[in-house]
Amino acid sequence: MTWGDKQSGCRPCGRRGFLAAFGGSRRGRRRTQCVAALVVVACVGSPPAEEHDHSHESWSVTALGERFEVFPEIDALAAGHTAMAHTHVTRLADFAPLLRGTVEIVLVDGSGEQIFRADQPAAPGVFDVEVTPQRAGEADLLFRIDDGNGVEEIPGGGLRVGTADHAEGLLKVRSLPAGSDGGEPVSFLKEQQWQGGFAAAWVREGRLARSVA
């Protein structure tokens, strides 16, 4: 079968036929070339997506008192904006979740106290506290826990309240001891801990026996 054979249904295009197939004229060819150029520009000319700093999206801290352990998971803090603090409270007497009471998160700076409060848990042991700081800058973090048997105030460290453009959180993040690589982190949620037996205690000095009888 040769090019142009009637059985194939094809005919030689020639120069005019080629132009007709792709626009019909020199003007059509130029139009086709322009469209192709625009497609190339659209493919390679788009700027990369803007990257944002998400280093202060959320943070957490563990604070131990005499009767309670507090573990809040807090959104980044910015003046005039509300951050949610999912505050887990454990009773150290029996290592169970606090089922009733009030939890206050207090920010203390040179202008006084800013107090944010939850009057009941959203779930067993978890108090959702809405924190809306009014001032940017550094502040001390306190937790006040009232279970009906007295109020305990537990310090939580220092933090910095940021701005709408750059929300912030804890001033210092605890690092691993020197010489410890830490390995891969293992998730062990408070909700999981409350289901089984566990304990926490302050480190103290003491003497070890030479042998165990």
Task: Tell me what pLDDT residue 190 has.
Answer: 79
In a domain, 108, yes or no: yes
- Cα 201 to Cα 191: distance, rounded to the nearest angstrom: 19
Task: Tell me what pLDDT residue 6 has.
Answer: 38
Q: Do both 40 and 64 map to the same domain?
A: no
14 is in which domain, residue-wise? 9-44
Cα separations in angstroms, 105 against 146, 155, 160: 12, 10, 14
Which CATH number does the domain housing residue 168 bear?
Answer: 2.60.40.1930
Which residue's structure tokens are 């700076």? 109
Q: What is the mean pLDDT of the chain?
A: 76
Q: How confident is residue 174, by pLDDT bands cut at 50, 70 and 90?
A: low
In a domain, 132, yes or no: yes
Task: Decide: 22 and 34 in contact? Cβ < 8 Å.
Answer: no
Phi, psi for residue 29 in degrees, rounded to 5? -65, -40
Q: Do both 33 and 113 map to the same domain?
A: no
In a domain, 195, yes or no: no
Q: Do both 62 and 154 map to the same domain?
A: yes
Count of domains observed in the chain: 2
Q: Do both 83 and 139 map to the same domain?
A: yes
**Considering the entire predicted model, what is its pTM?**
0.64
- For 162-173, the pLDDT digits (tens) are 998 888 888 865
In a domain, 182, yes or no: no
Q: Do both 110 and 65 map to the same domain?
A: yes
Q: Do both 81 and 164 map to the same domain?
A: yes
Task: Tell me what pLDDT residue 172 has.
Answer: 67
Task: Tell me what pLDDT residue 213 has.
Answer: 65
CA atoms within 13 A on the CB side of 176: 8
In a domain, 204, yes or no: no
Q: Do both 40 and 70 map to the same domain?
A: no
- Cα 115 to Cα 108: distance, rounded to the nearest angstrom: 9
Q: Do both 22 and 96 map to the same domain?
A: no
